[in-house]
Structures are given as C-alpha cells and as structure tokens.
C-alpha cells in the first residue's frame, strides 16, 4: 500500500498539481481571476473572454485556450492532460515511423487520418480513467484517484490564493 501511495504521488499527484498550478497562473497573466476555489474557477472560466492584446508564445496561447475550453475543473484538467499525452505519444510514434517517402495520395491520407485521430483522441481523453489505468504502474485505481483529486485541489487553491494576493498587491 505504501509503495502504491508513492507511485500515485510520483506518477499522478506531482504532474497533476504542476499542470493545474501552471495553467491557472498562465490564465491569470491575461485576466483578473476572482475565484478562491475550483468550483468558482470553473464558473468564471465559462464566462471568460480573453484579452488578445497581451503577447504570449504560441504554445502558451494554445494551452490557455484548451484549459478554458476544458473548464479548469478536476475532470477538465485530467481530460486535458490525457489529450496532451495521447497526442504527444502519437507524434513520437509518427516521427519514429517516418520513411522519407511521400506522394500526393499519401499526404492526403495522412491529413485525413490526422483529423480523424484528433477527434478519436478527444473522446479517448474524455474517458481518462480507463486510459490512465492502462498506462500507469499503479495497482489501486482508487488510491490514484484520491491522490489526483487532492493534488489538483491543493494546487488550484494555492495558485488562486497566490494570484489573488498578487492582484491585491498591485
């Protein structure tokens, strides 16, 4: 049980906490967040209009838009993380399978399969509990889930309190 707890913290807790924290801080760069917990944040993100004037990197812009689209709550963050993992895994597989040859029909087929895969990956990401149970070396799904929820909650509250403190100092 102790080993499973350590694995859950390493493979689920730390990445989820880091990602949750980073996304809130990233979003807080563009807008004034008034939320103090995840429930309020989810409602606030639903009605959020982004300020396009502030310059960000391409990657940060995509991450922020997807974070807002997925809702910012626990389920949304895990869906987002799962989606990024699936897409990254497929990119690595694709790069590994490049042969250097291409034709017009091959390119069209590639583009079509790319969009179909994106849609299928989105639905797979929505079913993240099944996806991660297959990938993670954790025996207890319930322990993993509790650690993930705690990590997300703690990181969200910490990031929001830090953001609110910074906003009040300005």
Are 24 and 41 in contact by the 8 Å Cβ rule? The answer is yes
**CB-based contacts of 25: which residues, under 8 Å, 6+ apart?**
159, 162, 163
User: Residue 53: pLDDT above 60?
Assistant: no
Q: Three-state DSSP class for 127?
A: coil
Section 23-29 average pLDDT? 78
Residue 18: pLDDT band (50, 70, 90) is: very high
**CA–CA gap between residue 104 and residue 68 (Å, rounded):** 37
Question: How many alpha carbons lie under 13 Å from residue 8 in its C-beta half-sphere?
Answer: 19
**CB-based contacts of 128: which residues, under 8 Å, 6+ apart?**
78, 79, 81, 82
- Residue appearing with tokens 């807008």: 31
Q: What is the pTM of this model?
A: 0.71
**In this predicted structure, what is the pLDDT of residue 170?**
64
């Amino acid at each position: 049980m102790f080993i499973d707890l350590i694995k859950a913290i390493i493979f689920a807790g730390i990445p989820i906490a880091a990602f949750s924290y980073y996304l809130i801080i990233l979003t807080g760069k563009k807008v004034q967040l008034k939320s103090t917990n995840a429930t309020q944040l989810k409602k606030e993100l639903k009605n959020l209009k982004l300020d396009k004037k502030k310059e960000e990197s391409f990657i940060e812009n995509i991450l922020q838009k997807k974070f807002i689209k997925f809702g910012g709550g626990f389920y949304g963050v895990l869906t987002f993380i799962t989606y990024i993992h699936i897409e990254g895994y497929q990119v690595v597989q694709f790069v590994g399978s490049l042969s250097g040859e291409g034709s017009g029909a091959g390119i069209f087929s590639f583009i079509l399969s790319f969009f179909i895969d994106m849609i299928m990956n989105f639905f797979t990401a929505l079913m993240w509990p099944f996806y991660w149970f297959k990938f993670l070396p954790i025996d207890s799904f319930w322990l993993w889930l509790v650690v993930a929820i705690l990590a997300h909650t703690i990181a969200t509250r910490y990031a929001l309190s830090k953001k609110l403190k910074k906003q009040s100092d300005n």
